[in-house]
Amino acid sequence: MSGRRSRSKQSSVSSITDDQITDLVSKLQHLIPELRRRRFDKVSTSKVLQETCNYIRSLHREVEDLSDRLSQLLASTDSDSDQAAIIRSLLMQ
């Protein structure tokens, strides 16, 4: 651990502790569905980071897929501002 602070080139790494990183990594773990079930297991940081990347990619794909479906649904409906208001009220519940 002694060599940890030997990097003088990085400017913003002044007081990052291992505990801080552990906390942040476990916070991430709780957000990822894959890993949430294993809450009481020890999941390695590397695994959490890997699953985080996979999860973000799957969310990006979902946004694309839903945009695709919306583009086709909107093509065949007479959408007007009333519908927008209806949807908004439904979603706000």
Partner 1 sequence: MMNTPQQVKNPSSSLKSRFITRFLGALTKITAEDPISSSSPTRIFQRYRRIKVASNKSMAYSVRSRRIWSRAMLSRFRSRRSAFSGRRSSVKTTNCTTSPPPALIKVTINEKKTAKGGLDMQTDELRELVPGGEAMDVCNLLDETAHYIKCLTTQVQVMRKIVDFYHLSK
Rounded to a whole number of angstroms, the minimum distance from the CB of residue 27 to partner 1 is: 6
For residues 48 and 29, the answer to whether their CB atoms sit within 8 Å is yes
Contact 34, 55 (CB under 8 A): yes
Interaxial angle between packed helices 45-75 and 18-31, expressed in degrees from 0 to 180 and rounded to the nearest 10: 40
User: Residue 25 or 43: which CB sits closer to partner 1?
Assistant: 25
| Residue 27 within binding range of partner 1, rule CB under 8 A | yes
Cβ(30)–Cβ(36) under 8 Å?
A: yes
> Which residues would be at the binding site for partner 1 (CB under 8 A)?
3-4, 6-7, 9-10, 12-13, 16, 20-21, 24-25, 27-28, 31-32, 45-46, 49-50, 52-53, 55-57, 59-60, 62-64, 66-81, 83-84, 86-88, 90-93
